[in-house]
């Protein structure tokens, strides 16, 4: 690094100045370089597991101003009941809530009953429901800016080892909404 710095100094005619000045300039360039590299490494995402997801997700959900999209292929009544009070408050504030899930017919036995009961609760709370055949995505998009994606079924999770990535990016949220085709079905704020 120092060799290339001095080569640049020679080409620019800086080497004719004092060594002290050149050393100060080198330190300055190094600070700038470190600052740029550090900023490139900053991430706008964070990872959560089954133990840390709920607190952050509920915090983001309560702050929603415009829209909430949840894609959860499986629904479990006990888990859905946890979200109903928050969904009621969001609907009163005019927040659009969309759930994309698999049709109840694709579930077996007990899971089908859980899905039907959960859908009834969600729809009575004002949640708009879309059904996607063979659905398996697990994600959420809040206010077209905050994205959660990973392995955790948001509306059915119970006791398993999971991971979710939270990303804050309006651009990536729009890309995801377009990619999964939700703009075709409704106008999400």
pLDDT in tens, 7-47: 555 545 555 556 666 666 667 676 665 655 555 556 789 99
Given pLDDT bands bounded at 50, 70 and 90, which one contains residue 158? confident
Asked whether the predicted pLDDT for residue 188 surpasses 60, the reply is: no
Average pLDDT over residues 59-85: 96
Residue whose entry in the numeric block shows the structure tokens 């579930």: 107
Which tokens is 110 given?
């007990």
Which of 112, 105, 163 minimizes the C-alpha distance to 134? 105
pLDDT value, residue 164: 96
Look up residue 119 and give its two tokens: 């859908």
Return the structure tokens found at 27. 């330190």
Q: pTM of the full predicted structure?
A: 0.76
Q: Which of 137, 183, 187, 146 is nearest to 165 (CA)?
A: 146
For residues 43 and 159, the model is more confident at: 159
């Amino acid at each position: 690094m120092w060799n290339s710095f001095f080569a640049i100094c020679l080409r620019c005619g800086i080497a004719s100045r004092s060594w002290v000045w050149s050393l100060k300039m080198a330190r300055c360039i190094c600070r700038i370089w470190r600052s740029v590299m550090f900023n490139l490494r900053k991430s706008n995402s964070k990872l959560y597991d089954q133990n840390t997801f709920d607190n952050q997700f509920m915090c983001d959900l309560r702050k929603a101003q415009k829209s909430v999209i949840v894609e959860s292929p499986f629904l479990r009544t006990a888990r859905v009941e946890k979200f109903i009070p928050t969904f009621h408050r969001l609907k009163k504030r005019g927040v659009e809530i969309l759930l994309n899930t698999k049709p109840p017919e694709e579930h077996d036995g007990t899971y089908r009953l859980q899905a039907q009961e959960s859908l009834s609760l969600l729809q009575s709370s004002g949640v708009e429901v879309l059904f996607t055949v063979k659905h398996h995505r697990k994600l959420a998009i809040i206010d077209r800016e905050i994205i959660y994606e990973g392995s955790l079924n948001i509306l059915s999770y119970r006791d398993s080892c999971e991971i979710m990535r939270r990303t804050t990016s309006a651009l990536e949220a729009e890309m995801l909404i377009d990619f999964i085709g939700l703009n075709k079905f409704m106008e999400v704020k």
